């Protein structure tokens, strides 16, 4: 399924890239567990990116905390890279961070929102993941 990313164009015979499968990680957990679920969520998101899945992380509820500068820097779950490094790796690999629009208004944290975070609602999440897969942490 993932290896067949190219097919021949019927008119030209030239290879064309097919759309990538969609994957959404919904992160609704904040720092209450020391950031373990957030670390697992971003590890899953990085893995999906490495598998060439079109991946977003949707930050909602307590997970909205990770959309703001300075909140991930002190989190380092044993056996994993630091959370800030996982987030950076995910974004550097082309992953997208999407903050729930209602949470941005109601759950906003002190400090600046990360420059790589976009605002979107549930319709944005569902639009991205239609026909794909989702996992929640």
Identify the pLDDT of residue 49. Answer: 95
Superfamily of 20-136 according to CATH = DsrEFH-like (3.40.1260.10)
Identify the pLDDT of residue 9. Answer: 39
Give the separation between CA 88 and CA 31, rounded to whole angstroms. Answer: 18
Considering the entire predicted model, what is its pTM?
A: 0.82
pLDDT grade for 124, boundaries at 50, 70 and 90 = very high
- Lowest-pLDDT choice from 11-20, 29-38, 126-135: 11-20
Tokens of 65: 């905390």
Q: What is the largest CA-CA distance in the chain?
A: 56
CA distances from 134 to 9, 17, 57, 131 (A): 31, 23, 10, 10
Kindly state the percentage of the chain with pLDDT values over 70: 84
- CB-based burial label for 56 (10 Å; 0-12, 13-18, 19+): buried
- The 10s digit of each residue's pLDDT in 65-79 is 999 999 999 999 999
| Average confidence (pLDDT) over 99-127 | 87
* Numbers of helices and strands, H then E, in the chain: 4, 7
Domain ranges across the chain: 20-136
Tokens of 96: 């997208």
Contacts of 136 (CB under 8 A, 6+ apart): 25, 26, 27, 28
Give the separation between CA 47 and CA 2, rounded to whole angstroms. Answer: 13
């Amino acid at each position: 399924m993932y290896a067949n990313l190219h097919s021949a164009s019927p008119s030209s015979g030239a290879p064309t890239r097919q759309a990538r499968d969609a994957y959404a990680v919904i992160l609704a957990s904040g720092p209450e567990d020391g950031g373990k679920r957030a670390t697992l969520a971003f590890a899953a998101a990085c893995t999906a990116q490495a598998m060439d899945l079109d991946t977003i992380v949707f930050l909602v509820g307590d997970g909205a905390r990770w959309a703001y500068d300075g909140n991930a820097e002190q989190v380092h779950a044993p056996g994993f890279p630091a959370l800030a490094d996982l987030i950076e790796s995910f974004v550097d690999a082309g992953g997208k961070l999407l903050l729930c629009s209602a949470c941005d208004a109601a759950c906003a944290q002190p400090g600046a929102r990360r420059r790589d975070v976009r605002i979107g609602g549930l319709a944005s999440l569902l639009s991205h993941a239609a026909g794909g897969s989702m996992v929640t942490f």
